[in-house]
Amino acid sequence: MQQSYQAMTWHSAAWASVNTRVHAGQLPHALLVGGERGVGKRLFAEALAHKLVCEQPQGPDLLPCGGCKQCKLVAADSHPDVRFYAPEKSRMIKVDQVRALSGFAVASPQVARRKIIVIDRADQLNINAGNALLKTLEEPTADSILILLQETGRPVLPTLRSRCQSLVLPTPGPEAATRWLDAELAEAEVEVTASAAQRSQALTMARFAPRLALEFLAGEYVTLREEALSTFRRFMKSEVSVSEAAKPFKTLGPEATLWLMELWASDMARISAGGQGRDTEAADMLGFLAGSNPSWRAHELLDAIREARSAQVYNANPELEAERLLIQWLGLMPARKRRVS
Ligand SMILES: [Zn+2]
């Protein structure tokens, strides 16, 4: 476990709840852990898996002892009874992955008392994969625990949800988020140089989900986003075609594209309602759009973005979805600003 995990203080209520269940011997065989993108769901699951395989958890908080065989295997990232499943190159968790998981669930644990199966992004299971997982959930084996992770706002199939106990990780406030981000950047393996202003902007854009802010600061995201924004501006002035404008969004990927467009559309709704946008770099353009459109237009756009997100689950073509949304954005420009080409 990383040192800075200790600084995820906003997880403490969830830990208290888990510890109570463990002490009472009432840990469910399936747990659904929800929370916004970037609040540390995966780290929580890793820490929980570690706690649940340790032979001598310490104290009332049941912290892993660090010295037993199980702890050593976890530290070496090679515990045979702990498995993580996440969407691979495709955006979905595949049926094959779920079948492998089901086989693992029914086999006996190799070295620990129980097996821990983590499904990262359980909201990315389509109907087929979900049905395959349902069998495992319906016929639980006594020695396996499933931990499903779900991003807020992304539905998990109701048949799966109803068989899990839920736990929600809250989003930290600005102070706790900043403290964690500073600690994480101080111990980061890959050096990330970010000024206090950049950190603060990344946190604001990430709505204080600190892991997401870190992703913004560490990855190519900042550059790709700048490119997408500048092409988007030119598209809104009819300087580039829709297929040209969709290109940087394609590089950004469908998840980030929808996330960014959602941020802009909700910023526009905020500005329309007299508030301030969170993406300061796009604020001038969004302010202009908010000033030249009735406020319901921003909500109409938000609906379209949510629709595109659900379409993603059914393998819709992400490029076409991006183009469709771009055209809808263009519809917000006053006619005189749009050049007929
Ligand atoms: Zn241990």
The closest alpha carbon to 19, from 53, 43, 52, belongs to 52
**DSSP string computed for 127-172:** HHHHHHHHHHHHS--TTEEEEEEEETTSPPPHHHHTTSEEEEPPPP
120 with 180, same domain: the answer is: no
Q: Is 45 left (phi over 0), alpha (psi -120 to 50) or beta?
A: alpha
Q: Output the CA torsion 139→145→146→152 (10° steps).
A: 130
Q: What separation in Å is there between the alpha carbon of 172 and the centre of ligand 1? A: 29
Q: What separation in Å is there between the alpha carbon of 292 and the centre of ligand 1? A: 61
Q: What separation in Å is there between the alpha carbon of 70 and the centre of ligand 1? A: 6
Q: Which two tokens stand for residue 274?
A: 């007299």
The CA distances from residue 10 to 5, 16, 40, 140, in Å, are 11, 11, 10, 31
Please check the confidence at residue 338 and state whether its pLDDT lies above 70.
no
19 with 152, same domain: the answer is: yes
Report the SS3 class of residue 293.
coil
226 with 211, same domain: the answer is: no
Q: What CATH number has the domain bearing residue 43?
A: 3.40.50.300
Q: How far apart are CA 266 and CA 276, in angstroms?
A: 10
Q: What CATH number has the domain bearing residue 188?
A: 1.10.8
- pLDDT reported for residue 90: 65
Q: Are 314 and 126 in contact (CB under 8 A)?
A: yes
Protein residues within 5 Å, CB atom, of ion ligand 1: 54, 64-65, 68, 71
Q: What separation in Å is there between the alpha carbon of 80 and the centre of ligand 1? A: 15
Report the SS3 class of residue 94.
coil
CA atoms within 13 A on the CB side of 2: 17
**Domain membership of residue 101 as a residue range:** 3-168
Q: What separation in Å is there between the alpha carbon of 163 and the centre of ligand 1? A: 30
For the chain, how many structural domains are there in total? 3
Higher pLDDT, 200 or 53: 53
Q: What separation in Å is there between the alpha carbon of 111 and the centre of ligand 1? A: 12
11 with 34, same domain: the answer is: yes
* Average pLDDT over every residue of 208-232: 88
Q: What separation in Å is there between the alpha carbon of 44 and the centre of ligand 1? A: 17
Helix (H) or strand (E) run with residue 199 in it:
helix 196-205
212 with 152, same domain: the answer is: no
- pLDDT reported for residue 341: 44
210 with 245, same domain: the answer is: no
Question: Which of 153, 184, 219 corresponds to the end of one domain?
Answer: 219
Helix (H) or strand (E) run with residue 322 in it:
helix 318-330
- pLDDT reported for residue 223: 80
Q: What separation in Å is there between the alpha carbon of 26 and the centre of ligand 1? A: 21
The closest alpha carbon to 330, from 224, 244, 225, belongs to 244
69 with 128, same domain: the answer is: yes
Question: What average pLDDT does the structure give for the chain?
Answer: 89
Q: What separation in Å is there between the alpha carbon of 58 and the centre of ligand 1? A: 9
Tell me the β-bridge partners of 85: 119
β-pairing, 82-85 vs 144-151, is unpaired
Report the SS3 class of residue 291.
helix
The CA distances from residue 339 to 18, 106, 238, 335, in Å, are 59, 63, 6, 8
Q: What separation in Å is there between the alpha carbon of 81 and the centre of ligand 1? A: 14
Q: How far apart are CA 265 and CA 337, in angstroms?
A: 20
Q: What separation in Å is there between the alpha carbon of 185 and the centre of ligand 1? A: 28
178 with 287, same domain: the answer is: no
- pLDDT reported for residue 68: 97
Question: Which of 219, 252, 283 corresponds to the end of one domain?
Answer: 219
CA 237 to chain centre: 33
118 with 95, same domain: the answer is: yes
120 with 242, same domain: the answer is: no
210 with 78, same domain: the answer is: no
Tell me the β-bridge partners of 115: 144
Q: What separation in Å is there between the alpha carbon of 140 and the centre of ligand 1? A: 25
Q: What separation in Å is there between the alpha carbon of 203 and the centre of ligand 1? A: 35
Please check the confidence at residue 160 and state whether its pLDDT lies above 80.
yes
Question: Which of 219, 254, 278 corresponds to the end of one domain?
Answer: 219
Q: What separation in Å is there between the alpha carbon of 211 and the centre of ligand 1? A: 27
Q: How far apart are CA 205 and CA 214, in angstroms?
A: 11
140-155 confidence digits (pLDDT tens): 888 999 999 999 888 8
Q: Are 35 and 170 in contact (CB under 8 A)?
A: yes
Q: Are 282 and 229 in contact (CB under 8 A)?
A: yes
163 with 39, same domain: the answer is: yes
107-120 confidence digits (pLDDT tens): 999 999 999 999 99
Q: What CATH number has the domain bearing residue 256?
A: 1.20.272
Q: Are 35 and 171 in contact (CB under 8 A)?
A: yes
Please check the confidence at residue 336 and state whether its pLDDT lies above 70.
no
In the 8-state DSSP scheme, what is residue 340? P
Q: What separation in Å is there between the alpha carbon of 102 and the centre of ligand 1? A: 26
Q: What separation in Å is there between the alpha carbon of 116 and the centre of ligand 1? A: 15
Q: What separation in Å is there between the alpha carbon of 52 and the centre of ligand 1? A: 9
Helix (H) or strand (E) run with residue 185 in it:
helix 174-187
Q: What separation in Å is there between the alpha carbon of 51 and the centre of ligand 1? A: 8
Q: What separation in Å is there between the alpha carbon of 168 and the centre of ligand 1? A: 26
Q: How far apart are CA 341 and CA 336, in angstroms?
A: 13
282-304 confidence digits (pLDDT tens): 999 999 999 999 999 999 999 99
